[in-house]
Structure 1
Amino acid sequence: MKKALIYRIVFYLLGLLVLALGLTLNTKAGLGVSPIISVSFSVAEIWDFNFGNTTLVLYALFVVVEMALHLMQYRRLWSDAAARDIAHAKQANLRLTLLLDVLQFPLSLVFTRFLNLFSGWIPTLETDYAGSFLGSFPGWFLFLCLAIVLTGVGAAASLDMRLVPNPGDGIVQAIADTVGKSVGFTKNCFDLCNITITIGISMVFAGRLTGVGVGTVVAVIGVGRVIALFNRVAQQRMAHCAGLSEKVQA
């Protein structure tokens, strides 16, 4: 049991680390960033703020909204007289849910420090490799593909361990539960909302697009496909090592 817990924590932390690396690579490719961080990236670019700190503020906002939605769900259940017995039973689950929400604050702090660390280490292709292959469109696209693979693998590995969710994933789940829609549909709508906000901020305050491009569209499609492929290949084996399943499916 102790060994399984160690595996679970290691897989979770490695997943977050790879996810942070993938998101950072996405920003360095110069073709548009992932929708979930497009707002914070555009704000950081336009006003010359620190990208990690701006993302931390965005994630904190996500967590506050999550907590409000979870409380709303519970109160809606409590207001239904026929469901009050169920509401009593779910009170303990609400406390656990809110605890996981609160734990996303320190998680966001650590996660965004990794974003800053990787941002300082990884060069920007357009400026640092101008005139070379990596400074050309094919080089940017190759970099973008690597970023999407790492983002998908990192997201899948961390989510599969069922510990504290990344705020970007947590808010999508909370919205989906509140409106009664699927997570996939809610994710698409949430991405579209982020892209729309980013375009609005960019055009009003910079007069040009920042953070949104062909890479954003590729990320919307590609990250989900990478997650699906990774889960098909590795999810059961990781879950078995982490004590989350009884056996590995062939």
Structure 2
Amino acid sequence: MEKKNYAARAAIYAMGLVILAAGITMNIKTGLGVSTIISVPFAISSIWDVNFSLVTFATYALFVVIEMIIKGSDRTVIDWLQIPFSIVFSLLLNMFSKLLDFNFGHLWQNTLYLAAAIICTGAGMSMMIAMKFVPNPADGLAQAIGKAFGKNMGFGKNILDASCVAIACVIGLLFDKRIIGIGIGTVAAMLLVGRCVAVFDHFFKDRMKSAAGLAE
């Protein structure tokens, strides 16, 4: 085992966090549909004109609470660090929402932007997961759900994705008589982000872990 390089580990994790927030924000800006995990806060903020970042934080905090309930006595102090993570992540979403204020007029432009969003989301997730630090609350909950069913994290993520989209649709139809934020971009993110994570892992995971002293 290599000696752990905590500075490199923190830097890669932080970079992944920033790239993830940028990717999710870009997904929203395409106008083709938001990513699955933030579909609920997006619907709520759109209907009631509540700050999107604030609602996202509340949603992520709820994810952490549900995760803690599922994990029971298996929960650790590290798991609770997902709460401050949610605060930082919400602030990053708010920042990128102002910085990435693009309005493309053609479908092909938005499609390319969506592709870039999915790549960034997958790359950010890969970097964060590889560092084995504080998990994204959505990933933490997905892992807990998968374990509760005796399955892997991928199974848990499918359950969480489907649940978020269904809840977002119900909220939109009940309170605004339309489906809000769900579109081809949502489906594309659901199908392709995992593939992007796998590709990024294939080319860069070992290098990142080696740089952080996590390689065995």
Q: TM-score, length-normalised on structure 2?
A: 0.96
Deviation at 1:204, TM superposition (A): 1.2
2:92 corresponds to 1:111? no
Deviation at 1:163, TM superposition (A): 0.3
5+ residue gaps in structure 1? 75-93, 126-133
SS in 2 for 1:135: coil
The 4+ residue runs of structure 1 with deviation greater than 6 A are: none
Whether the 8 Å CA contact 1:20–1:114 is kept in 2: the answer is: yes
CA deviations 1:66-122 (Å, max 9, x no partner) are: 111111xx4xxxxxxxxxxxxxxxxxxx4xx42112111111001100000111111
2:144 corresponds to 1:143? no
Deviation at 1:182, TM superposition (A): 2.0
Give the counterpart letter for 1:70 in structure 2.
Answer: K
User: Where does residue 57 of structure 1 map in the other structure?
Assistant: 58
Whether the 8 Å CA contact 1:39–1:194 is kept in 2: the answer is: yes
CA deviations 1:116-143 (Å, max 9, x no partner) are: 0111111142xxxxxxxx2211111111
User: Where does residue 162 of structure 1 map in the other structure?
Assistant: 132
5+ residue gaps in structure 2? none
| Structure number, greater radius of gyration | 1
Whether the 8 Å CA contact 1:70–1:98 is kept in 2: the answer is: no
Whether the 8 Å CA contact 2:44–2:55 is kept in 1: the answer is: yes
Deviation at 1:3, TM superposition (A): 7.1
Deviation at 1:144, TM superposition (A): 0.7
Q: TM-score, length-normalised on structure 1?
A: 0.83
Q: What is the distance in 1 between the residues matched to 2:3 and 2:158?
A: 38
Deviation at 1:2, TM superposition (A): 7.5
For residues 1-250 of structure 1, what are the structure 2 equivalents within 5 Å? 4-71=5-72, 74=73, 94=74, 97-125=75-103, 134-246=104-216
Q: What is the distance in 2 between the residues matched to 1:42 and 1:136?
A: 24
Q: What is the distance in 1 between the residues matched to 2:129 and 2:68?
A: 19
Deviation at 1:177, TM superposition (A): 1.3
Whether the 8 Å CA contact 2:4–2:214 is kept in 1: the answer is: no
Give the total of aligned pairs: 215
Q: What is the distance in 2 between the residues matched to 1:186 and 1:3?
A: 30
Give the counterpart letter for 2:15 in structure 1.
Answer: L
Give the counterpart letter for 1:200 in structure 2.
Answer: V
Deviation at 1:6, TM superposition (A): 0.9
Query: Which is helix-richer, 1 or 2?
Result: 1
